[in-house]
Amino acid sequence: MDRPIGVTILTFVAVLLAFINGIAMLRFLGFLPFLGSLDIRTFNLWYALLYGLLAYIWAWVAQMLWQVDPQAWLFLAVISVFNLCLAFVVLVTGGSWYDVNLSVIVNALVLIYIMLPGVRGAFGRD
């Protein structure tokens, strides 16, 4: 199956997010210190479980994107719309555009890209 170059880029971004969440999980398990002004180790099982779950989800999404599975397309569509709705709620409840600008731009670009006819066709969503 032909994979569009943008889907390959989204796959690598999903792998990067899985890696970052895995590192955060190891930090909250106390294996890696927090860098910067606070060079400390901390343990929080709840945070470690949640970051581990996020790492697993992003690894699953990366695998599905690499295989050009329609479930990955649906996941990206739902998550992008959900993030845009959350950004709208932040704006309505008193937040500023500066708080959500990067989130809105990235999620809007992902949503626009996955809705293009070529990408929809690659995922079998004609």
* pLDDT tens digit sequence for 22-73: 998 998 898 877 766 666 677 889 999 999 999 999 999 999 999 999 999 9
pTM as predicted? 0.82
The beta-carbon contacts of 17-26 under 8 Å, at least 24 apart in sequence, are: 17/54, 17/58, 18/55, 18/56, 18/58, 18/59, 18/62, 19/55, 21/51, 21/52, 21/54, 21/55, 21/58, 22/51, 22/52, 22/55, 24/51, 25/51, 25/52, 25/55
Q: What tens digit of pLDDT does each residue of 72-117 get?
A: 999 999 999 999 999 999 899 988 888 889 889 999 999 999 999 9
Structure confidence at residue 94 (pLDDT): 87
